[in-house]
Homo-oligomer: A and B are copies of this chain.
Amino acid sequence: MRIHLVNPNTTRSMTDKIAAAARAVAAPGTDIVAATSSMGPASIEGYYDDALALPGLLAAIAEAEAGGVAGGVDAHVIACFDDTGLDAARALARAPVVGIGEAGFHLASLIAHRFAVVTTLSRSVAVIEANLQRYGLDRRCSGVRASDVAVLELEDPASGARERISAEIGRAIAQDRAEAIVLGCAGMADLARALAREHGVPVIDGVAGAVTLAEALVRVGLATSKAGPYAPPRAKAYAGRLADFAPPGN
């Protein structure tokens, strides 16, 4: 099985870290093919970055499906906790698509009655809360907490990021009755295990979660339903700098 893991920001070191987290949990026989977006923001922090990350993400998915990845891919994972472009990717792709945010929420729901999300900057809280509400899983979430860590600080061991994240986890447990923690950024993938030991509750990394959920879908033989809003894009003209994104006739 081959899983296409797309980092929708353009920072290659982050892709490497995410790919390592993915490979650490993949089943024997699962091949992780990691891609970095070729255009857009270096990190995704808020609505504007989210919007401009979409073309690069969709280009990566289209390329993989068009044979850019030899042998084809069986599933796509979008490695941004905002689940950036998840709906558009599902409409575009033949293979199933899993976002690391939704993956974290779904797995947390299977092992805890109430989970907290600990993310980076406060401006991301609203994005994540809106996703939880759309998925329905806000009912299971005790709160989304920001640790005031910028995404790229996670790449810098001297930034104190880990300590701030750990402190916020402590508050989620003590103040919100959180029983498990979902780490709210792909760049935190390497921290889950140590934070779980430190706090004595399950700590969930969405990257690992999305890879195993993608494996589950492929093994069961499920792909995105095309009978609703995920129908393939209609053929039409696209103008200007994005003309090459025009969907072909189906």
Contact = CB atoms under 8 A, between A and B. Distances in A.
Contacts of A228: 112-114, 122-123, 126, 177, 179
A40 B238 contact: yes
A233 interface: yes
A40 B239 contact: yes
A48 to B, nearest CB: 4
A72 interface: no
Nearest to A224: B111
A83 to B, nearest CB: 11
A136 B138 contact: yes
A38 interface: yes
A110 interface: yes
Within the oligomer, what is the number of copies of this chain? 6
B107 A220 contact: yes
A95 to B, nearest CB: 11
A49 interface: yes
B240 A56 contact: yes
A194 to B, nearest CB: 12
A219 to B, nearest CB: 5
A46 B48 CA distance: 20
B110 A227 contact: no
Contacts of A247: 48
A52 B139 contact: no
Contact of A46 (B45, B136, B224, B229): B229
A149 interface: no
A234 B49 CA distance: 9
A51 B242 CA distance: 11
A20 interface: no
Nearest to A88: B51
A90 B106 CA distance: 16
Interface string A211-244: 0110111011111110111110110111111110
- Report, nearest first, the 10 A-B pairs whose CB atoms are least far apart: A39-B240, A212-B216, A136-B136, A126-B229, A179-B228, A48-B233, A51-B88, A136-B139, A10-B239, A179-B225
11 contacts: A48-B247, A52-B88, A55-B241, A109-B136, A110-B222, A113-B126, A133-B134, A177-B228, A201-B227, A212-B216, A213-B213
